[in-house]
Amino acid sequence: MADMIDRRRILLGGAAVAGAGFVQINPDFLISSAYAQSGKEMVFLSAENITGNWDPTAHTTLSQKNIEGYVMGFLTRTPMKLEDPGAVVYELATDIKLLDPHRLQIKLRNDIVFHDGKPFKAEDVKATFEYGSKPDRPAQWYPGPSETLTIEMPDDYTVIVDTSKGGYPAHLFIFLASFLPIMSAKDVAGGPGGPLTQRLNGTGPFKFVEQRGNATILAAFDGYFRGKPAIPGISFNFVGDSTTRMLSLMNGQASIVERLEPEQVETVKGNPKLTTNEVVSVENKYLWFRCSKPPFNDPRVRLAACHAIDRSLILDLLGSAGHASANYVSPVKFGYVDLKNYPAFDPDKCQAMLAEAGFPKGAGLPPLEYITSVGFYPKTKEYGEVITSMLNDQGFKVSLTVLEPAAWNEQLYHRPGGGPGHMVDCGWSTGSPEPDLILRTHFHSSSHRICGVEDAEIDASLDKERNAATLEERKTILQTETMPLLASKVPALSLFTSVMIHAMQKDLTGLYIYPDGSIDASKPA
């Protein structure tokens, strides 16, 4: 839902050589020893439910990704901090090197075992990549189908990814490595419907025990390569209601809860037993225009609407749940820059644009429907009402439709002739620094994801940045061409970047939380 990671072959085609800037830090994944010593299992309350199919390639669900974060091992992790969005930390890999534009060499650790006892080797990486890139896997986040990939194993602990058959740059795998959980080759051999779907089996700090109703039970893994975690287990529960999660935390039943409302942060701050963790997330919230039908097929009307919206008020409303950003991607993503031409609140410009488009003061505009959800993202209904009133102030005739998530989800996507309504509220979150997971997915004419924009100029610019030879070159194109172009045509308006807020018992202070919400609870005993 929120975490719609692209399933298409977004990075397909175009060779490029890239030299990634690796940061050799290992963030201090600390958790307080006080909590660890209590010997209690950690109770995590999730705002989102899981799919029930444990195959990591079968879903794009954020909460389940979070569970995988505990159980599965990754080649690298990307802390995606504001100060250095491109930073990468090695986990199962010890070294990643681009041999040539189409060949990426990955060296692996040799002291890792899976939870079922199988030693971790290059065959597992090969199996994972080959299986995950199959065209029938639902979570399609590989740059190309399996036949475009050649994976060599010079030895048990080295993997070379060769993309020359597919013709796209191999550096695309650098960012991907940070969120592709590595499965066991034995499980993969079982095929779809085999052991993969039944349980999780990884190399992470916690092993999967069972699913008990809405609770996923995990236990500390003795053989974890950094040592057995101090926390004996994790109970990962789906609790839909934020107040319920909060109450549960307050009466001590839950250890950590996610997706706090900003007001709840106040409550937590007033409670000596609790603490919060705020992290700027990979998720931006957007106001999507239905660009394939009037009146928003006219960029001037879109721009007029953007100038009518005072984003600072929305941020006021969101309080600590929102982080100001002026771009189509989150500041923790590769290529982020505050765009100079990003539309700001300016009633005069709005009126000018409206007049130019032939709707002076909004006269002649049809009634518009703005669809938003309630109960999933923080404060959608509240700022939906604010945006509606701001648009109406400028002469738009907008009515707000608030739907519960399932109905909203059904209405969300583009359909032939444009999706329902004229504007839709939705966020987009991808657990990778890769910006194209958003830009190309949404704004390329071949995609039509939500806004359905078809614009040759944008297409050309998107192709140009993808095919850049190096990451630096690509960054420049993104920041000086592609992103400013989007800001001038506004197929959507990115309102702000979400701040992921967790609240936890004080003895959990220091738990490391990634910008996509996954948590490192692996502090050794």
Partner 1 sequence: MSAIDPAFTALPIPSPAASSRSIARRILGRAARSTEFRIGLALFAILLLAAAVYPELSGIDPTKMDVRARLLPPLFMGDKWSWAHPLGTDQIGRDMLVRSVVGLRYSFLIGVASVAVTLLIGCVLGAVAGYFGGRVDTLAMRVTDAQLSIPMIILAIAVLGVSRPTIPAIILVLGLSNWPVYARVMRSVVMAERGREYVRAAQVSGATHARIILTLLIPLLAPPILLTSILDVARMMIFESTLGFLGLGVQPPTPTFGNIIADGRKYLLNAWWIATMPGVFLCLTLTSINLIGAAFERARNTIYGGV
Partner 2 sequence: MLGAPNGRDGVRSPMFVLSFLIRRLAQGAVIIFLVSLLIFTLLRVVPGDPVRLMAGGMAPEALIEEIATKMGLRDPIVVQFGRYMGKVVQGDLGQSFVRPANGAATGGASFNDATRGERAEVLDLILETLPMTLQLAATALAIALVFSTALGVAAGLNPGGWIDKLAFYVSSVFISLPNFWLGIVLALLLSVKLGWLPAIGYAGYSYTILPAIVLAVELSPVLIRTLSSAVAAQMGQSYVAIGHVRGLTLPRIVLNHALRNASVPLLNVLGVQFSSLLGGVIIVEYIFDYPGLGLLTINAVLQRDFPLIQGIAIVTSAIFVLINILVDLAATSIDPRLEY
**Alpha-carbon span 305 to 407, nearest angstrom:** 25
**Residue (of 405, 413, 414, 412) closest to 381 by Cα position:** 405
Tell me whether strands 93-100 and 103-108 are parallel, antiparallel or unpaired.
antiparallel
Give the integer Cα–Cα distance in Å for 341 and 484. Answer: 6
**Nearest-approach distance from CB 472 to partner 1, in angstroms:** 40
Tell me which stretch binds partner 1 (CB under 8 A): 77-85, 141-149, 382-390, 510-518.
382-390
Q: Exactly one of 130, 278, 346, 382 binds partner 1 (CB under 8 A); which one?
A: 382
Pair 187, 194: CB distance under 8 Å: yes
- Interaction pattern, residues 374-393, with partner 2; x per rule: CB under 8 A: -x------------------
Which listed residue (72, 412, 471, 492) binds partner 2 by CB under 8 A? Answer: 412
**What minimum distance in Å lies between the beta carbon of 306 and partner 2?**
25
Residue 246 binding partner 1, by CB under 8 A:
yes
Is residue 425 at the binding interface for partner 2, with CB under 8 A as the rule?
no
> Is residue 243 close enough to count as binding partner 1 by CB under 8 A?
yes
Size of the site for partner 1 (CB under 8 A): 30
Q: Which of partner 2, partner 1, none does residue 316 bind to, with CB < 5 to 8 Å depending on kind? A: partner 1
Does the protein bind partner 1 through residue 317 (CB under 8 A)? yes
Q: Are 391 and 308 in contact (CB under 8 A)?
A: yes
Q: 348: part of which helix (H) or strand (E)? A: helix 347-357
Tell me if 320 contacts partner 2 by CB under 8 A. no
Residue 304 is a binding residue for partner 2 (CB under 8 A): no
Residues 258-297 interacting with partner 1 (rule: CB under 8 A): 261, 263-264, 266-267
User: Measured from the CB atom, is 45 or 511 closer to partner 2?
Assistant: 45
Q: Does 1 bind partner 2 (CB under 8 A)?
A: yes
Residue number, 163 or 380, with CB nearest to partner 1 = 380
* 205/395 with CB nearer partner 1: 395
Is residue 50 at the binding interface for partner 2, with CB under 8 A as the rule?
Answer: yes
When asked if residue 178 is in the footprint of partner 2 (CB under 8 A), the reply is no
DSSP class of residue 445 equals: T
Q: Which three-class secondary structure state does DSSP give residue 369?
A: strand
Please report whether residue 273 would count as binding partner 2 according to CB under 8 A.
Answer: no
Can residue 401 be called a binding residue for partner 1 (CB under 8 A)?
Answer: yes
Q: What is Dmax (Cα atoms) for the chain?
A: 70
Contacts of 266 (CB under 8 A, 6+ apart): none
Closest to 438 (Cα-Cα) out of 400, 465, 402: 465
In sequence order, the 6+-apart residues with CB closer than 8 A to the CB of 231 are 31, 35, 36, 40, 41, 42, 220, 521, 523
> Which residues inside 223-242 make contact with partner 2, applying CB under 8 A?
237-241
Give residues 318-377 in contact with partner 1 (rule: CB under 8 A): 374-375
The separation between CA 453 and the C-alpha centre of its own chain, rounded to angstroms, equals 22
- DSSP, collapsed to helix, strand or coil, labels residue 471 as helix
* DSSP category for residue 184: P
Q: How many CA atoms lie within 13 A of 24 on its CB side?
A: 3
How many whole angstroms separate alpha carbon 280 and alpha carbon 48? 19
Q: Does residue 312 belong to the site contacting partner 2 (CB under 8 A)?
A: no
Could you tell which of partner 1, partner 2, none binds residue 442, using a CB distance below 5 to 8 A set by kind? Answer: none
* Binds 155: which of partner 2, partner 1, none (CB < 5-8 Å by kind): none
> DSSP code of 179?
T
Contacts of 291 (CB under 8 A, 6+ apart): 297, 302, 418, 451, 452, 453, 454, 491
Q: Which residues bind partner 2 (CB under 8 A)?
A: 1, 3-4, 7, 48-55, 58-61, 64, 136, 138, 192-194, 196-198, 211, 213-214, 216, 237-241, 243-244, 247-248, 250-251, 253-254, 375, 404-407, 409-413, 415-416, 449
Q: Which residues bind partner 1 (CB under 8 A)?
A: 242-243, 246, 261, 263-264, 266-267, 313-314, 316-317, 374-375, 379, 381-386, 388-389, 399-404, 407
